[in-house]
Amino acid sequence: MVIFIFGGAGSGKSLLLDFLKKRYNACIIEADKTAHELYEPGNTGYTAVRNLLGSQILNEDKTLDRKKMAEILYKDAVLIKKINSVIHPMVWKSINNKIDNIKNMNTQNTQQLIVVEAALIPKDRKELEGMFDEYWFLYADEKVRRKRLKESRGYTDDMIDNIISKQPETKDYIRLCDVLIENNSAYSELEEKIEGLL
Protein backbone atom coordinates (compact mmCIF):
# COMPACT_ATOMS: atom_id res chain seq x y z
CA MET A 1 0.00 0.00 0.00
CA VAL A 2 1.29 3.46 -0.93
CA ILE A 3 -0.08 6.42 1.03
CA PHE A 4 0.48 10.10 0.26
CA ILE A 5 0.39 12.17 3.46
CA PHE A 6 0.21 15.94 3.24
CA GLY A 7 -0.64 18.90 5.43
CA GLY A 8 0.55 22.33 6.40
CA ALA A 9 3.58 23.17 8.53
CA GLY A 10 2.91 22.29 12.16
CA SER A 11 0.16 19.78 11.38
CA GLY A 12 2.20 16.93 12.90
CA LYS A 13 3.48 15.16 9.80
CA SER A 14 6.90 14.39 11.32
CA LEU A 15 5.34 12.73 14.37
CA LEU A 16 2.99 10.76 12.15
CA LEU A 17 5.88 9.55 9.97
CA ASP A 18 7.86 8.46 13.04
CA PHE A 19 4.85 6.52 14.32
CA LEU A 20 4.24 4.80 10.96
CA LYS A 21 7.91 3.85 10.69
CA LYS A 22 8.10 2.43 14.23
CA ARG A 23 4.70 0.74 14.41
CA TYR A 24 4.25 -0.46 10.83
CA ASN A 25 7.84 -0.54 9.54
CA ALA A 26 6.78 1.89 6.82
CA CYS A 27 9.24 3.00 4.16
CA ILE A 28 9.20 6.79 4.29
CA ILE A 29 9.87 9.05 1.31
CA GLU A 30 9.96 12.79 2.05
CA ALA A 31 9.47 15.21 -0.83
CA ASP A 32 11.76 17.85 0.74
CA LYS A 33 14.63 15.37 1.09
CA THR A 34 14.05 14.18 -2.47
CA ALA A 35 14.26 17.78 -3.70
CA HIS A 36 17.50 18.30 -1.75
CA GLU A 37 18.96 15.20 -3.45
CA LEU A 38 18.08 16.71 -6.82
CA TYR A 39 19.95 19.90 -5.81
CA GLU A 40 23.26 18.03 -5.43
CA PRO A 41 25.89 18.93 -8.06
CA GLY A 42 25.50 16.85 -11.20
CA ASN A 43 21.80 16.18 -10.66
CA THR A 44 19.01 17.57 -12.84
CA GLY A 45 17.60 19.90 -10.18
CA TYR A 46 21.01 21.45 -9.56
CA THR A 47 21.45 22.23 -13.25
CA ALA A 48 17.93 23.64 -13.59
CA VAL A 49 18.23 25.92 -10.55
CA ARG A 50 21.71 27.10 -11.55
CA ASN A 51 20.44 27.90 -15.05
CA LEU A 52 17.48 29.89 -13.68
CA LEU A 53 19.25 31.74 -10.85
CA GLY A 54 22.85 31.94 -12.09
CA SER A 55 26.16 31.32 -10.36
CA GLN A 56 25.31 33.82 -7.60
CA ILE A 57 23.62 30.97 -5.70
CA LEU A 58 26.72 28.73 -5.66
CA ASN A 59 29.07 28.23 -2.73
CA GLU A 60 32.83 28.16 -3.35
CA ASP A 61 32.67 24.36 -3.62
CA LYS A 62 29.99 24.74 -6.36
CA THR A 63 27.17 23.37 -4.17
CA LEU A 64 23.94 25.35 -4.04
CA ASP A 65 23.81 27.96 -1.30
CA ARG A 66 20.27 27.30 -0.12
CA LYS A 67 20.26 30.38 2.08
CA LYS A 68 21.07 32.67 -0.87
CA MET A 69 18.55 30.78 -2.97
CA ALA A 70 15.86 31.30 -0.32
CA GLU A 71 16.68 35.02 -0.07
CA ILE A 72 16.33 35.47 -3.84
CA LEU A 73 13.12 33.44 -4.09
CA TYR A 74 11.58 35.07 -1.01
CA LYS A 75 11.47 38.37 -2.91
CA ASP A 76 10.22 37.08 -6.25
CA ALA A 77 6.92 35.18 -6.49
CA VAL A 78 7.24 34.83 -10.29
CA LEU A 79 10.65 33.21 -9.94
CA ILE A 80 9.31 30.83 -7.27
CA LYS A 81 6.63 29.68 -9.74
CA LYS A 82 9.27 29.16 -12.44
CA ILE A 83 11.49 27.12 -10.12
CA ASN A 84 8.53 25.07 -8.86
CA SER A 85 7.29 24.38 -12.39
CA VAL A 86 10.68 22.86 -13.20
CA ILE A 87 11.57 21.17 -9.89
CA HIS A 88 8.19 19.71 -8.85
CA PRO A 89 7.88 17.34 -11.85
CA MET A 90 11.45 16.17 -11.17
CA VAL A 91 10.60 15.52 -7.53
CA TRP A 92 7.48 13.50 -8.39
CA LYS A 93 9.40 11.49 -10.99
CA SER A 94 12.14 10.73 -8.46
CA ILE A 95 9.53 9.75 -5.82
CA ASN A 96 7.84 7.45 -8.33
CA ASN A 97 11.21 5.80 -9.03
CA LYS A 98 11.81 5.34 -5.30
CA ILE A 99 8.38 3.71 -4.89
CA ASP A 100 9.13 1.34 -7.77
CA ASN A 101 12.53 0.46 -6.27
CA ILE A 102 10.99 -0.34 -2.88
CA LYS A 103 8.34 -2.51 -4.51
CA ASN A 104 10.98 -4.32 -6.60
CA MET A 105 13.10 -5.03 -3.50
CA ASN A 106 10.11 -6.68 -1.81
CA THR A 107 10.88 -10.13 -3.21
CA GLN A 108 8.76 -11.97 -0.63
CA ASN A 109 5.57 -10.21 -1.78
CA THR A 110 4.79 -9.21 1.80
CA GLN A 111 2.47 -6.30 2.48
CA GLN A 112 4.75 -3.25 2.46
CA LEU A 113 3.58 0.16 3.65
CA ILE A 114 5.16 2.99 1.67
CA VAL A 115 4.46 6.53 2.83
CA VAL A 116 5.22 9.68 0.83
CA GLU A 117 5.09 12.99 2.69
CA ALA A 118 4.91 16.49 1.23
CA ALA A 119 3.78 19.93 2.36
CA LEU A 120 3.00 21.07 -1.16
CA ILE A 121 0.47 19.32 -3.36
CA PRO A 122 -0.26 19.25 -7.09
CA LYS A 123 -3.28 21.08 -8.51
CA ASP A 124 -5.08 17.77 -9.03
CA ARG A 125 -4.55 14.04 -8.78
CA LYS A 126 -3.99 13.64 -12.53
CA GLU A 127 -0.37 14.69 -12.00
CA LEU A 128 0.08 11.73 -9.64
CA GLU A 129 -2.00 9.22 -11.61
CA GLY A 130 -1.49 5.70 -10.32
CA MET A 131 1.21 6.56 -7.76
CA PHE A 132 -0.85 6.30 -4.57
CA ASP A 133 -3.51 4.02 -3.13
CA GLU A 134 -4.73 6.61 -0.61
CA TYR A 135 -4.35 10.35 -0.01
CA TRP A 136 -4.30 11.40 3.67
CA PHE A 137 -4.61 15.03 4.78
CA LEU A 138 -3.29 15.67 8.29
CA TYR A 139 -5.25 18.70 9.49
CA ALA A 140 -4.66 20.97 12.48
CA ASP A 141 -6.23 24.35 13.19
CA GLU A 142 -3.99 27.30 12.34
CA LYS A 143 -3.84 28.35 16.01
CA VAL A 144 -2.56 24.87 16.96
CA ARG A 145 -0.05 24.85 14.10
CA ARG A 146 1.28 28.28 15.08
CA LYS A 147 1.76 27.16 18.69
CA ARG A 148 3.61 24.01 17.61
CA LEU A 149 5.88 25.90 15.20
CA LYS A 150 6.81 28.41 17.90
CA GLU A 151 7.46 25.73 20.52
CA SER A 152 9.18 23.07 18.42
CA ARG A 153 11.10 25.19 15.91
CA GLY A 154 11.34 28.58 17.58
CA TYR A 155 9.67 30.35 14.67
CA THR A 156 8.49 33.95 14.97
CA ASP A 157 5.03 35.12 13.89
CA ASP A 158 6.53 36.69 10.75
CA MET A 159 8.25 33.43 9.80
CA ILE A 160 5.03 31.49 10.35
CA ASP A 161 3.01 34.02 8.32
CA ASN A 162 5.47 33.64 5.45
CA ILE A 163 5.34 29.82 5.54
CA ILE A 164 1.55 29.65 5.76
CA SER A 165 1.12 32.18 2.93
CA LYS A 166 3.09 29.91 0.58
CA GLN A 167 1.18 26.73 1.42
CA PRO A 168 -2.12 25.59 -0.08
CA GLU A 169 -5.37 26.54 1.62
CA THR A 170 -7.23 23.93 3.67
CA LYS A 171 -9.91 23.60 0.96
CA ASP A 172 -7.21 22.62 -1.56
CA TYR A 173 -5.89 19.90 0.73
CA ILE A 174 -9.43 18.63 1.37
CA ARG A 175 -10.19 18.50 -2.36
CA LEU A 176 -7.26 16.13 -2.89
CA CYS A 177 -7.68 13.80 0.11
CA ASP A 178 -9.44 10.47 0.62
CA VAL A 179 -8.94 10.59 4.38
CA LEU A 180 -8.94 13.69 6.60
CA ILE A 181 -7.17 13.15 9.93
CA GLU A 182 -7.75 15.84 12.52
CA ASN A 183 -4.71 16.41 14.73
CA ASN A 184 -5.59 19.18 17.17
CA SER A 185 -5.08 17.23 20.39
CA ALA A 186 -2.80 14.70 22.07
CA TYR A 187 -0.38 12.49 20.17
CA SER A 188 -2.02 9.37 21.64
CA GLU A 189 -5.28 10.33 19.92
CA LEU A 190 -3.48 10.60 16.59
CA GLU A 191 -2.01 7.11 17.10
CA GLU A 192 -5.48 5.70 17.79
CA LYS A 193 -6.87 7.29 14.63
CA ILE A 194 -4.06 5.82 12.52
CA GLU A 195 -4.49 2.36 14.03
CA GLY A 196 -8.16 2.57 13.08
CA LEU A 197 -7.20 3.31 9.47
CA LEU A 198 -4.60 0.57 9.10
Annotated binding-site residues for ATP read: 10-15
Q: How many CB atoms neighbour CB 4 within 10 A?
A: 25
Q: From CA 87, how far away is CA 127, in angstroms rounded?
A: 14
What does the chain come to in residues? 198
| In 39-141, alpha helices (H) | 44-53, 66-74, 77-105
Q: How many CB atoms neighbour CB 170 within 10 A?
A: 15
Q: From CA 118, how far away is CA 158, in angstroms rounded?
A: 22
Integer-rounded Cα Rg, in Å, for the chain is 18
Query: CA angle at residue 101 from 36 to 46, to 5 degrees?
Result: 25
Q: From CA 110, how far away is CA 15, in angstroms rounded?
A: 25
Q: Which of 48, 88, 86 is nearest to 64 (CA)?
A: 48
Q: Which of 128, 94, 121, 175 is nearest to 13 (CA)?
A: 121
